[in-house]
A and B are shown apart, each in its own frame.
Chain A
Amino acid sequence: MRRVAASARTAVRTAWSGLRTSPVTSGVAVITIAVALLLVGAFALLVTNMERILDRFGEELRVSAYLAPGLAPEAQEALRARVADVPGVLSVALVTRDEALARFRESRVARAALLDGLEENPLPASLEVSLEPAERTREGLAALNDELADLPGIEELGYGHGWVEGYARALGVVRAAALALGLVLGLAALLIVANTIRLAVYARRDEIEILRLVGASRAFVAAPFVLEGLIQGLVGGLIALGLLALFHVALVPSLRGGMELLLGDVTPVFLAARGMLTLVLGGAALGALGSAAALVQGES
């Protein structure tokens, strides 16, 4: 136990002096990691916001179930409760005939003249069903359709197929692109970092050889390098996070105007706590892995 503790102390001390005595190489590694993570982070930020926008669209995606005329208010309410229990349904809102008429009157297409001639409200009551995010697909919609079509009291279902498919496809594309690009960026970052650290290992190959000659185990030789990589990665990750936050704060006001015009009230968000943590820890992992890879490569 004391030996392990002593070895750990030695590794920390060696890593620290390695960082101190080669500030240029360390700096290059830190900056490389920071730049790589800044790219990954910026991309993650973009994807997060795109998903949010798509989610908003998704929330507005509703299926209208038009109710049979003459259904008593209690029966309408019972039907609402029944539909709310259908699996995959997020929420159900009852729109009475009067409400439907009021909405129509407010809408832009309504012309007062069009309604003035009518003695009676021609609009049916309806249930507005929103789906859980995972169900916002063609299959989810078909399942809902099956569930609702046979319910007594429901006359007709209305929804835009095109809408749903477009939404699902857009979300699928964004996620697949995010995954693919994230992987490519991550891999590129790992290679660049491994290469940078390989130079540091190469610069110290004499030291490594001497350590081996006096009986150092592989772990003893590797530990300070991996620790150094870890620290460099941590610092690089923090720098990337700081820069990302800076850009975000600087750019959001100018972005918001344009986005509001296009998408309504959508405020760009920053990465969630988990995303930030992932970025910084990802940097540490990148540094440590890069060092390990460089060492393995250096041995052969």
Chain B
Amino acid sequence: MRPRDDDAAHPGAGALVRLFHVSKSYQAGSWALRDVSLELAKGEFAFLTGPSGAGKSTLMRLVFAAEQPSEGQILVLGRNVSRIRPSAIPALRRRVGVVFQDFKLLPRRTVEANVALALEVVGTPTRQVRSRVFTMLKRVGLQHRRYHHPLSLSGGEQQRLALARALVTEPEVLLADEPTGNLDPDLTLEIMDLIVDAAARGTAVFVATHDHALIERYGRRHLHLEDGRLVQDTPGRGHRP
């Protein structure tokens, strides 16, 4: 069956992210993802685990249209990403916040300017940008660092900056690729609380992590990838929206 955009009659129509038998191969003969199908609803929070090279980052890259699937279909916010026009990609990405594993911060801009970037690309008026950036930096505890440059920040601070940039637009989907990898336990919980909070406001969230204690602690849905295959999909404890 061919998936249609905004098909209200289709089961799971409320899902913001839907993968149908998605496979991805970067090189002929090897598969980064194999036949993955899943759905993520508005306000739903899912952990994504798996050994290094299992395909976690690939799955996220497919969702924000940085890659095209080799097989299958992906619907994100009602758009079929597997045949999206290149000119439609920016509009999609503005509704999807991403915390990259390597942060992807602009080293020559200040902390404040890095967060502002996500708002500027949509043409948000300057005054509004300033106040929203300030509020966001306060939430991640970086307001005192706003005039610094990313490279003068610690790894944990850079990670929080990356999260601030991803959340400042109040995205409908949040993809966080190992967002607590460099944080000590206290900061990890603070950051996770921010992400959980975003889900509570309706954002659909994927968090890739190696930290099984987190999964235990938060008791959310848990997807486990191995060798590109989705081998386990454990529902959360009483958190299903």
B-contacting residues of A (Cβ < 8 Å)?
Answer: 2-4, 6-7, 9-10, 17, 21, 207, 209-218, 220
Interface stretch, picked from B20-28, B30-38, B118-126, is B118-126
Chain A residues positioned under 8 Å from B124 (CB to CB): 3, 6
Size category, B interface = 20 to 34
Q: Is there an interface contact between A216 and B121, defined as CB atoms closer than 8 Å?
A: yes
Q: How far is the CA of A30 from the CA of B117 in the complex (A)?
A: 28
Chain A residues positioned under 8 Å from B126 (CB to CB): 6, 9
Contact with A along B145-185 (1 / 0, CB 8 A): 00000000000000000000100000000000000000000
A-contacting residues of B (Cβ < 8 Å)?
Answer: 64, 66, 87, 90-94, 96, 98, 100, 104-106, 108-109, 117-118, 120-126, 129, 165
Chain B residues positioned under 8 Å from A7 (CB to CB): 120, 123
Task: State which of B87, B108, B125, B165 has its C-beta within 8 Å of the C-beta of A214.
Answer: B165
Q: Is there an interface contact between A215 and B106, defined as CB atoms closer than 8 Å?
A: no
Q: Is there an interface contact between A215 and B94, defined as CB atoms closer than 8 Å?
A: yes
Q: How far is the CA of A211 from the CA of B117 in the complex (A)?
A: 8
Chain A residues positioned under 8 Å from B122 (CB to CB): 3, 215
Q: Is there an interface contact between B93 and A6, defined as CB atoms closer than 8 Å?
A: no
Taking each of A2, A212, A216, which has the highest tally of chain B beta carbons within 10 Å of its own beta carbon? A216
6 additional A-B residue pairs with CB within 8 Å, beyond A10-B123, A213-B66, A213-B98:
A3-B124, A3-B125, A4-B123, A6-B123, A17-B109, A210-B104
Chain A residues positioned under 8 Å from B87 (CB to CB): 217-218
Q: Is there an interface contact between B106 and A217, defined as CB atoms closer than 8 Å?
A: no
Chain B residues positioned under 8 Å from A21 (CB to CB): 108
Q: Taking A213-B98, A214-B117 as contacts, is the C-beta distance between A207 and B123 under 8 angstroms? A: no
Q: How far is the CA of A80 from the CA of B9 in the complex (A)?
A: 95
Task: State which of B64, B90, B129, B165 has its C-beta within 8 Å of the C-beta of A216.
Answer: B90
Q: How far is the CA of A210 from the CA of B107 in the complex (A)?
A: 11
List the 9 closest pairs (A to B, CB-CB), nearest first. A3-B123, A215-B93, A215-B94, A216-B121, A7-B123, A217-B90, A10-B120, A215-B90, A6-B123
Q: How far is the CA of A7 from the CA of B108 in the complex (A)?
A: 20
Q: Is there an interface contact between A6 and B120, defined as CB atoms closer than 8 Å?
A: yes
Taking each of A6, A7, A211, A215, which has the highest tally of chain B beta carbons within 10 Å of its own beta carbon? A215
Chain A residues positioned under 8 Å from B93 (CB to CB): 213-215
Q: How far is the CA of A194 from the CA of B55 in the complex (A)?
A: 39
Q: Is there an interface contact between B120 and A207, defined as CB atoms closer than 8 Å?
A: no
Task: State which of B92, B104, B118, B125 has its C-beta within 8 Å of the C-beta of A6.
Answer: B125
Chain B residues positioned under 8 Å from A3 (CB to CB): 122-125
Q: How far is the CA of A212 from the CA of B66 in the complex (A)?
A: 10
